[in-house]
Structure 1
Amino acid sequence: MESVVHFQEIEPEIVLLTMEDRVHKNTFSKELIDGLLEAFAVIEASNVYKVVVLTGYDSYFASGGTREGLLAIHEGREKFTDKNVYSLALDCKIPVIAAMQGHGIGGGFIMGLFADFVILSRESVYTTNFMKYGFTPGMGATCILPRKLGISLTEELLINSGTYRGAELEKRGIPFPVLPRAEVLGHALELARQIAEKPRYSLILLKDHLVAPIREELPSIVEREVMMHEKTFHQPEVRERINALFGK
């Protein structure tokens, strides 16, 4: 069965990963999770690649948890840590560019923020909407958001769970390029080519140095997020909100 994560060597040293689970609109389906894990395993095993571009399809980048996945956590059958896709970009030894040409929802937005370079679309929606479902944030959100966006905007995004267009976030001064959707991937590929001009060993060494503080603090923060989930995710109201927000 063909993977919903398409692996393409754009050039000998540049990998383009395109998430295209049209059936589930790039929510974290089993197919998408397995595809991402497999793709990054191939990248990890390579001694050639220098940079990864991660993108979605049409107006979707990544859309967060599925209804079934959220209910499984609510019922205590799963945890978001069972299969770690959120920090794949952080753990990747070479630089990763998140070309977020489409909507980034919940954990999908967080996954993109763990990349070394982030590019947003003016038209697309970005939100960390965990609290709309009644449970506290997971996926390492409380670690990466303050580091990438600052504590004030983080508190607004996480506590209020608002929905923002890329153009709105650009006005708020986020430190990422925000471009028309049609220009996001092209910008990312040009950036990738510039990165690929550098020696691979030096890229790996410098990334390892730059992200070391995040890698070191993330496990303890994720542990606390899981503890908060144990207190918030199993409330009856959460099931009601999940069903209501998914329209079932």
Structure 2
Amino acid sequence: MSASVQAPGTPMSVVEMVDLEPGIVRVTMQDRVHKNTFTDALIAGLSEAFAQIAERGDCKVVILTGYDSYFSSGGTQEGLRELYEGRIQFTDKDLYSLALNCPIPVVAAMQGHGIGGGFVLGLFADLVVLARESVYTANFMKYGFTPGMGSTLILPHKLGPALATEMMLGAGTYRGEDLKLRGVPFTVLPREQVQAHALELARSLAEKPRVSLVALKDELVSELRAQLPVCIEREVALHAQTFHQPEVRQRIESLFGR
């Protein structure tokens, strides 16, 4: 039977962790009020869920997903304001490495829109499934500041340098079907098929011994894990150069959510 495990202090509607089948855990972001932006509650829920998974010896694979037409919408407007004012850095709340540092494979079932940091969050998973109708964007430069959250590492790694450069510099929006035409190395399906396909992938992994899954994941992501701290340091330095322009504040106020 499936068992629901909730992160302490986090409303059930924000993050839910459920055992779907033996060895398969699904972590669902479902903050419908804030469209899965990086609120404190969502960050706490995700962090707690992945911490629990890391401590469990019976888990073999994680499915990370959102709700309806949203996977994750990235930073909140208030969070961007705090970054602009220098009160926080994106490194203060580490979401970007949750999937990468999870000891077992993570499948990102991105049935809904992945916006900015929300798109990056999904790309750090080991396997990614996109929806044909959903929008995916690395839209940091839309607000006038350079990308963060490890974007400059994971986008070229997963999408290829040409498409990643276009997405980061142009900050455009791409539907899953557009990315499929551009040759992204992910499965792209109609939205209603994404969850079922992610579960098929998870089942194929859960058939394998956990020790072998952990050992192979460690090997496959070892270079990314080694490169990420250097990348983050460079992105923080770029933020120091680009985030505190008056035009950035104007864009945060006028363009957020549009």
Q: What is the TM-score normalised by the length of structure 1?
A: 0.98
Structure 1 partner of 2:252? 242
Structure 2 partner of 1:119? 129
- Following the alignment from structure 2 to structure 1, what is the Cα–Cα distance between the partners of residues 246 and 41? 29
How far did residue 243 of structure 1 move?
0.4
Moved beyond 2 Å, runs of 4+ = none
Q: Which of residues 148, 157, 162 in structure 1 aligns to 2:167?
A: 157
Name structure 1 gaps, 5 residues minimum: none
- Following the alignment from structure 2 to structure 1, what is the Cα–Cα distance between the partners of residues 200 and 165? 33
How far did residue 12 of structure 1 move?
2.3
State the AA in 1 paired with 2:252.
I
Computed over aligned residues only, the root mean square deviation of the Cα atoms, in angstroms, reads 1.0
- Following the alignment from structure 1 to structure 2, what is the Cα–Cα distance between the partners of residues 70 and 2? 24
Structure 2 partner of 1:2? 11
How far did residue 246 of structure 1 move?
2.3
- Following the alignment from structure 1 to structure 2, what is the Cα–Cα distance between the partners of residues 76 and 23? 27
| 1:75-86 equivalent positions in 2, closer than 5 A | 75-86=85-96
- Following the alignment from structure 2 to structure 1, what is the Cα–Cα distance between the partners of residues 106 and 248? 34
How far did residue 75 of structure 1 move?
0.3
SS at structure 1 position matched to 2:92? coil
The answer to whether residue 150 in structure 2 is matched with residue 147 in structure 1 is: no
Structure 1 partner of 2:185? 175
State the AA in 1 paired with 2:79.
G
How far did residue 247 of structure 1 move?
6.4
**Residue correspondences, number:** 248
Structure 2 partner of 1:223? 233
The answer to whether residue 84 in structure 2 is matched with residue 59 in structure 1 is: no
Name structure 2 gaps, 5 residues minimum: 1-9
How far did residue 86 of structure 1 move?
1.2
Q: Which of residues 30, 33, 40 in structure 2 aligns to 1:23?
A: 33
The answer to whether residue 54 in structure 2 is matched with residue 14 in structure 1 is: no
State the AA in 1 paired with 2:75.
G
- Following the alignment from structure 2 to structure 1, what is the Cα–Cα distance between the partners of residues 227 and 97? 12
Q: Which of residues 195, 208, 211 in structure 2 aligns to 1:185?
A: 195
